[in-house]
Amino acid sequence: MTPREVARVHFPNLAPTLLADHSVAALAPAGGEPEWAAGVAWETARAVARTGRRVLLVDLSLERPALHAEAKEAGAEGIGDAFAFGVALNHVAREQEPNLFFIGTGSPAADQRAVLTSERWQRLARGFASEGALLLLHVPAAALPVLRIDLGTLIVAAPMGYVPGSDTFPGLAERLLRGTSLLAIVRDTVPPPPRTSGSQRVSVAAATAARRRQRRQIPRAVVGLMIVAAVLGVVALLVSRRGGGTPAAPPEAPSDSAVPPAASGRPRTLSVGAGAAPPDSLFYSIQIAAFDNSAKAVEYLGGLGEDGATGTVTPVLLGQQGVWHRVVIGAAPHALAADSMLRDLWRRGRVRRPNGTILRTPLALEIARVSSPVEAEDSVAGLRRRGIPAYIVASDGPVRILVGAFEDDDQVRLADALLRAAGIPSVLVHRAGPRS
């Protein structure tokens, strides 16, 4: 399997989704200055915490602390004191910003191996898994084989790149041989993909020309769709100004956590917490574009052909920037499947690298259920001609017709207003269905 290489500048956008299914992850430096990998660790932790998920970042660079320089507050006592001398984790953890906590190395450990092999690691891992929080460990490569914890995944911070299985960093290679998954190699820059052959370039150009010819053949339908979408976009904007977009706080954590619990927020219409995915969930998608105009977003989606069959347009309120309309495609069961979809789009030239962001979008608005796929396709075609970016999700029974792909129910407000303006009732549901 080709390892995932991500430029440092892009990794914070991907990290919350890639780590959504993991409660314990390690970040190991592989070359470069220690400050470089430390920066990646802090950027990753902040990105996840700012989605509302609680994160504990721990510095296990016991010989030479690596993360203190960027910490807003770091106590004199740290992880060495907790595991070697029994100091409570709540005492040594320091809040850096909402949902993000940090534990430094603390006092020099007399026996570093005892810290790394402590039985408390497994208990701590189980606690984070039960809460849906993330334990992110900054670990030197040489310490990885000794660390006594079941790592969910591993991130390698290597500014010049890293070849899995090489003997450059034997500690990394040994941990990977034990079965720990390699989530990503974070580099300073990612080498450009191999140049495509001439026939592939012609194929992409021909496909673009075909879409243009198709648009010229149906000008009235496109003009009508754009007018309807523009009107509905104005309605959504007005509703957003009346409503507000304050995100709900995450659910309260059990009191015995190493990370203090977050304040509870208002009740949600439909809660989808970490680890709550049903067996048939299709919670992941890819945002490939965003427009400040709904008509442009719907037109762009229509030009994707089969790649846009499970696509939709989701209006999102972005603070002072107003309403933007995300073009979102795909319905994948997990982040790795969505990542494979994105790489395929890159390979075929349908999305330009490095565009594309993997999102966890567990919610949608269901507007109909029909008895057959043919009926569903006809219904979706009619809805899209009206400017309603509907799509199909199969099920064991009736075929479901959905609109939107939402990260939480706060995002639903604008799309729901759009549907109500068009006279279409809807129900908030989980995105779920048979997996291909």
pLDDT reading at 140 higher than 90: yes
Confidence at residue 377, expressed as pLDDT on a 0 to 100 scale:
87
Q: Is 195 part of any domain?
A: no
Confidence at residue 221, expressed as pLDDT on a 0 to 100 scale:
41
Q: Kindly report the CATH number assigned to the domain that includes residue 145.
A: 3.40.50.300
Confidence at residue 422, expressed as pLDDT on a 0 to 100 scale:
79
Render pLDDT for 286-300 as a digit per residue (tens, 0 to 9): 998 888 888 888 888
Residue 404, token pair as written in the block: 């939107």
Mean of pLDDT over the chain:
77
Render pLDDT for 288-343 as a digit per residue (tens, 0 to 9): 888 888 888 888 888 888 887 888 998 887 666 678 888 999 888 888 788 888 88
Render pLDDT for 89-137 as a digit per residue (tens, 0 to 9): 888 899 999 999 999 988 776 578 888 988 889 888 988 988 889 999 9
| Domain range for 380 | 209-243+277-430
pLDDT reading at 412 higher than 60: yes
CA distance 379 to 345: 27
Residues 141 and 213 occupy one common structural domain = no
Residues 140 and 215 occupy one common structural domain = no
Residue 218, token pair as written in the block: 């149906």
pLDDT reading at 235 higher than 80: no
Render pLDDT for 157-189 as a digit per residue (tens, 0 to 9): 999 888 887 778 888 989 998 889 999 999 988
Q: Is 256 part of any domain?
A: no
> At 191, is the pLDDT very low, low, confident or very high (cuts 50, 70, 90)?
low
- On the 0-12 / 13-18 / 19+ scale of CB atoms within 10 A, 386 is middle
Residues 227 and 332 occupy one common structural domain = yes
CA distance 347 to 300: 19
Distance of alpha carbon 280 from its chain centroid, rounded?
Answer: 19
Residues 180 and 216 occupy one common structural domain = no
Last residue of a domain, one of 123, 156, 187: 187
Residues 46 and 102 occupy one common structural domain = yes
- Could you give the number of structural domains in the chain? 2
Confidence at residue 421, expressed as pLDDT on a 0 to 100 scale:
81
Confidence at residue 214, expressed as pLDDT on a 0 to 100 scale:
44
Q: pLDDT higher for 433 or 223?
A: 433
Residues 161 and 219 occupy one common structural domain = no
pLDDT reading at 249 higher than 60: no
| Interval 376-383 mean pLDDT | 86
Residues 11 and 125 occupy one common structural domain = yes
Q: Is 271 part of any domain?
A: no
Distance of alpha carbon 231 from its chain centroid, rounded?
Answer: 31
Q: Is 251 part of any domain?
A: no
Q: Is the pTM of this model over 0.85?
A: no
Q: Is 72 part of any domain?
A: yes
> At 239, is the pLDDT very low, low, confident or very high (cuts 50, 70, 90)?
very low
> At 232, is the pLDDT very low, low, confident or very high (cuts 50, 70, 90)?
very low
CA distance 365 to 402: 5
Confidence at residue 200, expressed as pLDDT on a 0 to 100 scale:
38
Whether 78 and 107 have beta carbons less than 8 Å apart is answered as yes
CA distance 80 to 436: 47
Residues 105 and 216 occupy one common structural domain = no
Residue 44, token pair as written in the block: 């990753």
Confidence at residue 402, expressed as pLDDT on a 0 to 100 scale:
92
Confidence at residue 389, expressed as pLDDT on a 0 to 100 scale:
87
Residues 167 and 53 occupy one common structural domain = yes
Residue 362, token pair as written in the block: 């567990």
Render pLDDT for 1-47 as a digit per residue (tens, 0 to 9): 456 888 898 899 888 888 988 999 999 999 888 899 999 999 999 99
Confidence at residue 333, expressed as pLDDT on a 0 to 100 scale:
85
Percent of the chain with pLDDT over 70: 76
Confidence at residue 320, expressed as pLDDT on a 0 to 100 scale:
63
Confidence at residue 241, expressed as pLDDT on a 0 to 100 scale:
37
pLDDT reading at 215 higher than 70: no
Residues 221 and 141 occupy one common structural domain = no
Q: Is 250 part of any domain?
A: no
Whether 175 and 151 have beta carbons less than 8 Å apart is answered as yes
Whether 131 and 160 have beta carbons less than 8 Å apart is answered as no
Range scoring the smallest mean pLDDT among 58-67, 224-233, 394-403? 224-233
Q: Is 9 part of any domain?
A: yes
Residues 236 and 127 occupy one common structural domain = no
Residues 147 and 226 occupy one common structural domain = no
Q: Kindly report the CATH number assigned to the domain that includes residue 342.
A: 3.30.70.1070
CA distance 220 to 385: 10
pLDDT reading at 258 higher than 60: no
Q: Is 407 part of any domain?
A: yes
- Tracing tokens 């057959």 back to the chain, one arrives at 372
